[in-house]
Every structure is written in structure tokens, then in C-alpha cells.
Structure 1
């Protein structure tokens, strides 16, 4: 076994554990002592990317992107085709350290592609989706290539396949010679087969004329790649399998969560994703000794407590992932009981169970122990939402204003939500003052994301354009309820709050900021209170008052009402009519607020019929 390599990955694992346990300075000191360690650099890269993914701050994504590109170049240079030519010509004997490092670099190379693709997908732009799909294709092929070699090594070592994880070996079906429309400079790397292992995988990139000529030369001169595979310690074989499982799991989850329109591009490139395979791979990875194990646990917690409820993958049942999250947190208690990030996820779990007091306690403790500004702001974001969920507009306003001043993520969103909370609390003077201060900043917004578009569409609704005066308290409450609904936070409201919302909607049809919004919110509140019949009636009323003359603006109201009506009918033993409304929601409207999110929900609902 290669002692240095073993030492390096253990150092990286220790550093990641220190970071997650709020010991940032100790981790940085440890990392600084090993500036040339491949594992340490990879570990730092992974942590920074996951930090960026959770905070959504642009500068963090930029730093992570630069590190990912550096890691990609290093991996591609270390395991590229030309380097394999040298070993063939000079017949360099490969040691166990060389062999393990080669496999490790293949895995990290694929990891960088997955993480870079996720960054592009979050931009929600067409060119980003295409480039991201191309990167995922490259990652898929490298993962399959690496997994084939590691699984053969695993079977040779243990005489069996690893339990709990067996990725679907689906070869890319087409496009082996496709060129990315905006391919990055690193698109030419390729992965040579490791010593003596033969497999039927499609090569990562099609061989050029030079490569074909050299291959013919090698065959004529008797130079081949057939060498005896070095012995690898069983513990290292298990670790490599765990390492491959992490990125593969993230990859599968990423592909499975893409919008249906993007999945067409995915299928064109010749690969697909399987959510259950991704979860199984991450579960396998988290039980290993590799440095990625705690990151695999964080990925699973992120999926169960954020992704599942946010995208409504389980419909209105936002508690669907709570049991899995509880088990994950319990199993990590010994090592990460005081970790700010794990406390954050514990708070998310409590919030989903409508235990808002317990959630606030967890987030408060996380803020106290956190040493990273980003983690503190992440928890403050959740604290603000907890106050909104409780309809505590005064506390919500204070938290949102603090976020608007300190956070680098979507200041416009925090400002908007702070203003409508002021209006819902009857503090119109504060609302007008804040509106006047930030109005010039709003006009500079570039409308780059769906959230930016959402905010700019709400801006004209904050005050009366003709008089410059604010609207009524009930008007602003409806805008708060709309945000709770669109962020799928309404199910986390208490029964008392849901009844209050339902009652106010019944009394407020004349003051709604958008036609049909009152019925949509009332229907959602009834649904979460368990009154499906009343919910269906409200959703039908919403569509009646919008069709046909008032459906030109705020079309998200109609689209979401169709989705809710279709889902409710399906759950109420009327699948045919339900499917009809879901299909209308999918095809009848375009370019409305949160179209991508709703399409994911519709796609999931149609699959369940």
C-alpha cells in the first residue's frame, strides 16, 4: 500500500471533518501544511463547491469554478493519453501507488465535470444547460470507465460485488464524436485503460488519426499496455469504490432533477439519470472511509430536507424525507453533533415537521457555533422563513432586512419580502421608505434568473402606480401567502395559521393583487388542512375567474391552479380528469413565474398516475 497516498487522503478527511465541525482555522492550517497534496486540493475544492451550492453566493461559485478547472487540468494532465504513451514506450513498471493514483484522478476528473455542470444548470440559461449536459456526458463516461476497473479490482480482491451499490451500466448510445457548442478548453482529455483491464466501454473521446497511427506502430513493434496489475490493499479497494460512489450519486441526482425540457437534451447525448441509483450510491459512499463520506451525508441531507420539499417531489407531503434525515443525523451525532451545518439540517427537519420553535432553536445554536459567515447567513435565511411561516411579520421584517444588507445572494428578494411583511403588518410608512430607497437598485437588476424576473414582476404591485400610496393590509398578506405557497412553505404552517389564511382569503376577493390568487391560496390552505373537496372547489373557482378574459397576466396563477386541481383530483380517485388538468398545466402556459419548478412537479405527478 502506498503510505504517502494513504496519508494524504486521511489528511483531507481530517481537514473536511474540522471544517464541518466549525474549526475553520485548524482546517486551513492543516491544508496549508500540504499545499501540493492532490487529495487535500480535491477536498478543499469539494467543500468550497458545496458551500457555494448551499449559499448561492456568486463569488463562492466563481471561486469554486476556478478550483474545479484547476483540478480538471491537473487530473487530465496526470492520466491523459500522451502520458500513457510514455509508459508504453519506456515500459515503466506501474506501482500500486501509481495505479491507485490513476484511478483516483479518474474519479476526481469526473467529479469536477459534475460539479461544473451543476453550476451551469443553476444559471437556468439555455447555453448553460447545453454545456452542462455535455459535461455530464463526459462525467458519465469517465465514471463508467473507472467503475468498470474498480469493480473488477473489487471482485478480484473480495470475490464478490460490493453490497448496497451497483450502478446501472448504460453505455452512451450516441454522439461519441459530438463536439460541444461551447466546449471548454479541457474538452480534449481522454482516459486510457489501466493495466491489462479490458472493457467494452466507449472511449472517452474518439481517437484521432495520430493516435490510430501510434497504436498501429505500437502493435507492429510489440509495445502493448498489457502489464500485471499491482496488488492493492483491500482497504484501499473499498475506499476507491466509496470514492467513485460519491460523485456518481451526485451525478444521478442531478440528472434526475433536471426539467423535462432539458431531459430531451440529455437523451440526445445518450445517457440518463436514476434518482434511486443516486441515493443508493450516496448511501454507500457515506459509509466508507474516504474523504468524501461526510460530504455524501451532507448531500443526502440536502436532498431530503431541501430538494424534496422545495420541488414538491412528494406532492404536498413535505415531511416525506424527514425520517431519512433523522436517521442520517442520528448516525452522525458522535462526530458532528456540534457542526453548524448539521444543526442547520436539524433545523430544516424540525421546520418540515411544523416544529418551528425547535427549528428556531437549532438555527440559533448553529449561528452561535458557526465560524463561517456564509453558514450564519444560511441559518438567518431559515430564521426569517420561520417567522414568515408563523405569520410573525415584525420579526420576519427584521431578519429579512438584515439579510438584505449582509447577504450577497438576491438582495432584491429579501427586500421584496421585507416590504410585503411591512405591509402585512400595517407599517406603511416603513414600507414606503424602504421602497423609495431600493427602487433605483431594482431598476439596475438584469433579470438574469427566474428569481430576478419574479421580483421585477412584483415590483409594480408593491404600491399604487397612479397615487404612489400603499394598498391594504389584506392585499400585502396575500403577497406573503403567495411567497409561502410558491416556496412550498405553506405546509409547514400550523393548523391555526392555515385556518387564519383560509378565513382571510374568503373575506378578501376584492383586494387581491392578482386575479384568482385568493382562490389559489385558499385551495392550498384547505388542501393542507385535509379538506380536499373544499380545495378542489377553490381551484375550480380560481380557473373560472381567470378564464378567458383575465388570463393574460400572472399566468402562474392559472398554471399552479391547474396543477393543484389535477393532483387533487388524482388523489381523490379521479385520475382521468386529473391527468387532463395536469397536461393542460404542462402545455398551456409558457414563461410564467417558476415554470421550471412547476414542470418538475407536473412531471412527477404524471409519472405517479
Structure 2
């Protein structure tokens, strides 16, 4: 057992409270990135509704104005007001239907709550049906191709063009929900026809915009913003997929270019349109989450700060933006500042409790980085009681933190480490018929406690921290990295003193991997290389934790990339990709291998080097 650094007792029980006198959000430039309900001459000329017939263009103007006003309410934490302002027209207006479903999807993507995901999926399907009614009665691929090359622009009205973009967006968002439920992408590939329809539509609409025959409609900026959102999202996401998945997708016509995707989203984010905030949020997700969880930790945090700044100025209490502000502080290594931001986020609204849970998850990791096990346990306990995403993962983390308590530390609520680990396998949950990868990992690790005399896991929270990219965070803070290394050395010494078991090689290699990451970030390159090589050389001795070998090769490859040993790095990455299968977190590891290969192959051109861990 390890003694944790002293930690203050939680200053709240069920809800976060900011201490008196805490600083407010720093001022930011006044120029907002998202326009509120702007009124111009053309909009003012539209009838208020009810009396008299209106043209499709005036209906489109009114719908866009009302939907942008609803988004403004949503970003100001007035979630119920935003939904209420849209609901009455969701069967009659494509933009009301799309915006209503988009808000629910944003909720689902922020909370990961299974019921939220199901509700968002059903609502998006209904929105798609509404959009279908406004589409031209022909297939978009054929019609727009004819429109550009042979027919006049009269064949597609502005309303019909917007119907195409809204319909494609519904398909795109449904695909995103599929990915949220199934990291292995099986469902995504099975639903490839629908996804491909969306992809092809965006490609055709992008071609339309580039055509010299295209005449911009009154709401062109909103239409163009939708095209940039879709083209950018597809290119960026597809570029991240592992090679084995990409080959399947390319076979049916998909392709993705990371740089083009980022450029499209950046242009969409900087435009004055309905979709500018969606482009911004996707970029924020990419730079602060996707590049860490599914990449080598090379997200552009400075770009994320630049994107966020005007939104924090316009919405200083906006929960979504406070959350991203906290995440940015975390990635910069400013853990105390991150904690303050997450607390602000929880105080900002009480309508969506699940939003608090997202902050609790981040706070749990913040206190893990600081090795304040009691505080980390506190947030894992809150999540296990209030959130339904993965009870197995939350209970596993509670047990993991208990295992780090010192001999003089009292166990909160009388919880038993071994008993908590034993119930983890009974809590397995399936979403859309699929088990969560993190949950499967926790269950596999906890199974050893089903034995009458279990061999304790050496450092379970630090191992899970590797899965969620935590070593890339503490790597920016030498004091945090040194503290973590000290804890790992203590665990290694305790393991050396214990009796030999069949799990000894597994446990020793877990510690070696995590120590290697700490040593790398502290600049002790040769020692880090030795630790990663140790795992590969002891491959035959590992009994259960087979994920360690490909990940050790991955980390060694990234170490070589930092030293400009590019050819050696690529060989290791190919070995990790080709020679191992059926191990824990395999798909996530393949995403990271793909990101490292992309970095390796682009290194000679741009001179970029990684300072972060691939998985950690």
C-alpha cells in the first residue's frame, strides 16, 4: 500500500461549490464567433407569421433566425428554453428539426449517457424524415451532377439546396452517434451505405459551390457553412482511422485528408453562419480529446485556446465553454486552474446533471495526476452513484484508488478494495449490443480478485491513466512526473519483496511501461528505451496483459521519432500493427499507431516531433 500526499477534504458533498472570493472568468475579446439572432433588411421584411403566404426563402430566413436564437439560449445554459423554442416546429421546418436533434446530440456526446444517446439517435432519425420532405424528388448525386454540368440552376431552389445539406447533416450526426457507441467501428461499416450517402452528398455540394455556374442564394453563408462542416468532419475523421478500417472504407469510395479537413472546419468556424459554432466545437473536441484519446497527444492546444476565447467572452458562464476551458488548462499542465474551471462549469447550470458528471470524470483525473487518492476516490464514488455510462468502470476506479491508500488511511464508507473489484464483472453493460472497451479492460483486470487469495494489482489507477493519455498531461509538469515515478518505484520495490506468482511478469511489465513514460518525459531517454525494450524482450513471460507488447513498441517508436530515428520507428509501428491481435483496447491502440505513422511520414516535411505519449 502507498501513502498518498495529503489532500484537503472535499468542500462539497453532492454539488460543487466555488469558495468565496474565487476569481471570475478572465475577460476576452468582445467579438463573438456566433451571431445571435441577427436582423437585416431582408429578415425584417419577412412576415411575422400567420397572415398571408410566405415564400420558401422567407420561411428559410425565419427558420434560420429562430434556430440561431435557440442555439444562443443553449450556449447560455438555457437548455429547456432552447428546446421549447424549437419543438413546436420540428415536424414542419427542417432547420428546427435539425437544431432540436443537434442539441440533444451535443448533450449525448458530452454526457455519454446511454439514454441520452438513444434519445438523440431517435430524434435525429425523425429530423431526417422532416428534411426528406423538403428535398427535390430525385437523388442528389444525379441531380446535382446534372445541375452543374448540363442543367440550369433553376432545377434546385435555395430551399431544396438547404434540404440536401440538412439531410446530409442528419446522416453525419447519426454516424457520429454510432461511433460513440462502438469504438470498433463495426456498426459504422455495416451502416456504410447511409454514411456514404452523406459523404457523397457533401462532395457533390462542395463541387456545386466551386462551380462557376453557381449563383449564391440569400442564405448562402449558412449553406456554405454546412458544406464546410460536413466536408471537414468527414476528412478529419477518416484520416484518423486505422489502416485496416480505412482499406474497407476506401473500397466503397471514402477518403480523408487531415489537413483539408482542418482547413474546412477552420473556415467554417470563422464564418458568420448557423454552423460556425458546430465547426468550432468539433475543432475543440479534436484538439483537446480526439488527438489524445485516439492519437499521439499532438493536439494544437494554442489553436483550441484561440477558438475558445471569443466564446468565453460572449458566454462567460456557458457550461460547455467552461468545460473546454478546464480541459485546455489540464492539457497545459495547469491542474489547479483546471480544477477551478470544472467547478465553475458545475456551478453554471443545474439543468443537465449529466454535464456535472463529465466534470467529475475530469476532476477525478486531475486529482490522480496530483496523487491525491482520497479526492480522486470521491469523484469516482460520485460517478458510480449518479451516472449510468459505465458502473463497472467507476467501481473499478473506486477500488483502484482504495488500493493506493496508505496503512493509516481510513477507507471511506467502509468500502473493501477486494470486494469492489469482485463486483466489477457483474456490472457489464452493453450499448447498442456492444460493450465499452474501457469497461472490458476494467473487467479483465478485476478478474484476478475472484480468486480466494487474489494477487493485488500493483498500480491500477496509474495503469488506467495510461489508457486515457494521462502521462502526456503530467509530462508537462516535472514535479508531477517525478512524483508519479516515485510512486511507481515504490510499487516496483514492493513487487520485488512479494512472493513470486504467475502474474509477476505481467505486473512487472505494467510498471516498466509506466516508468518508461515518466523517464521519457523527464529526459532520461536511454533509461526509458531500456524499460520499453524490457517488455518486448519478456513477451513470452506475459500471461494475460498482452496489450503491453504492442503498446511498448508504440511508445518506443514515438521515442525514436523524437530522436529523428524515423526508419526504426516505422518498423516498430508496423510490427505493433501486424503482429498482435485480440488484446485489450486493440482498436484504440490501432488508432494511435495510425496517428504515429502519419507523424512519422510527415516528419521530414514539417519537422514536427512528438513530446507526448501515444497512449498515455
Deviation at 1:350, TM superposition (A): 0.2
1:296 to 2:279 alignment: yes
1:570 aligns with 2:570: no
Report the CA distance shift for 1:520/1:154 in structure 2 as closer, same or farther (over 3 A): farther
Higher relative contact order (CA 8 A, sep 6+): 2
Superposed CA offset, 1:78-120 (max 9, x none): 32536999xxxxxxxx999981211111011111221222222
Corresponding position: 1:585 with 2:568: no
Is contact 2:89–2:96 with CA below 8 Å preserved after alignment?
yes
Distance 2:416 2:312 in 1: 46
Alignment partners' CA distance in 1, 2:383 and 2:314: 30
CA contact (8 A) 2:269 2:278 kept: yes
Q: Match of 2:416, SS?
A: helix
Counterpart pick for 2:539 among 540, 547, 550: 547
Deviations 1:402-432 (CA, angstroms, capped at 9, x unpaired):
0111112111111111111111013585585
Conserved in 1, the CA contact under 8 Å of 2:395 and 2:420?
no
1:523 to 511, 516, 524: 516
Counterpart position of 1:121:
179
Q: How does 1:259-338 map to 2 (within 5 A)?
A: 259-314=242-297, 317=298, 320-338=299-317
Structure 1 83/451 Cα, relative in aligned 2: closer, same or farther at 3 Å?
A: closer
Following the alignment from structure 1 to structure 2, what is the Cα–Cα distance between the partners of residues 357 and 126?
36
Aligned CA RMSD, in angstroms, stands at: 2.7
Q: Summarize the Cα distance change of 1:120–1:481 in structure 2 as closer, same or farther, 3 Å threshold.
A: same
Q: Say whether the 8 Å CA contact 1:312–1:488 is kept in structure 2.
A: no
Deviation at 1:606, TM superposition (A): 2.4
Deviations along 1:244-292, one digit per CA (max 9) or x if unpaired, are 2112222222222223221111111012011222222222222333322
Distance 2:133 2:186 in 1: 27
> Judging changes above 3 Å, is the alpha-carbon distance between structure 1 residues 19 and 377 closer, same or farther for their aligned structure 2 residues?
same
Aligned pairs (5 A) from 1:68-79: 68-79=124-135
Alignment of 1:56 onto 2:112? yes
Identify the match of residue 327 of structure 2 among 348, 354, 376. Answer: 348
2:367 & 2:573 partners in 1: Cα distance? 33
1:6 aligns with 2:65: no
| Aligned counterpart, 2:167 | 109
Correspondence for 1:359 among 322, 334, 338: 338
Q: TM-score, normalised by structure 1?
A: 0.78
| 2:380 equivalent in structure 1 | 400
Identify the residue that residue 498 of structure 2 maps to in structure 1. none
Cα pair distance change 1:156/1:79, threshold 3 Å: closer
Give yes or no for contact 1:17–1:294 (8 Å, CA) kept in 2. no
Q: Map 1:201-216 to 2 at 5 A.
A: none
Q: Distance in 1 between matches of 2:570 and 2:353?
A: 46
Cα separation, 2, equivalents of 1:526 and 1:466: 36
Distance in 2 (alpha carbons) for counterparts of 1:272 and 1:252: 7
Q: Which moved more, 1:561-570 or 1:69-78?
A: 69-78
**TM-fit CA distance, 1:434:** 6.2
Give 1:351 deviation, angstroms. Answer: 0.3
1:39 is aligned to 95
- Secondary structure of the residue aligned to 1:590 is coil
Structure 1 partner of 2:366: 386
Find the counterpart in structure 1 of residue 440 from structure 2.
Answer: 453
Aligned to 2:402, which of 414, 422, 434? Answer: 422
Closer/same/farther in 2, CA of residues 129 and 26 from structure 1, 3 Å limit: closer
Instruction: Report deviation, 1:75.
Output: 2.4
Shift of 1:5: 1.4
| Counterparts of 1:53 and 1:119, CA distance in 2 | 8
Q: Distance in 2 between matches of 1:599 and 1:155?
A: 42
- Return 5+ residue gaps in structure 1 as ranges: 86-93, 158-231
Where does residue 46 of structure 2 map in the other structure? none
- Closer, same or farther: CA 502–332 of 1 in aligned 2, 3 Å: same
Distance 1:83 1:354, change over 3 A: closer
Provide the secondary structure at the position in 2 that maps to 1:243. Answer: helix
Which residue of structure 2 aligns with residue 597 of structure 1? 588
1:135 aligned to which of 169, 173, 194: 194
The one-character-per-residue Cα deviations of 1:448-478 (angstroms, maximum 9, x if unpaired) are: 23222201101124x472326x84xxx54x2
1:241 matched residue in structure 2: 224
What is the alpha-carbon distance in structure 1 between the residues aligned to residue 138 and residue 447 of structure 2?
60
The count of corresponding residues between Structure 1 and Structure 2 is 513
1:3-48 residue CA offsets vs partner (Å, 9 max, x unmatched): 2211111110110111111012332342245453321211111121
Any conservation in 1 of the 2:513–2:531 contact (CA below 8 Å)?
Answer: yes
Closer, same or farther in 2 for the Cα pair 1:350/1:452, shift >3 Å?
Answer: same
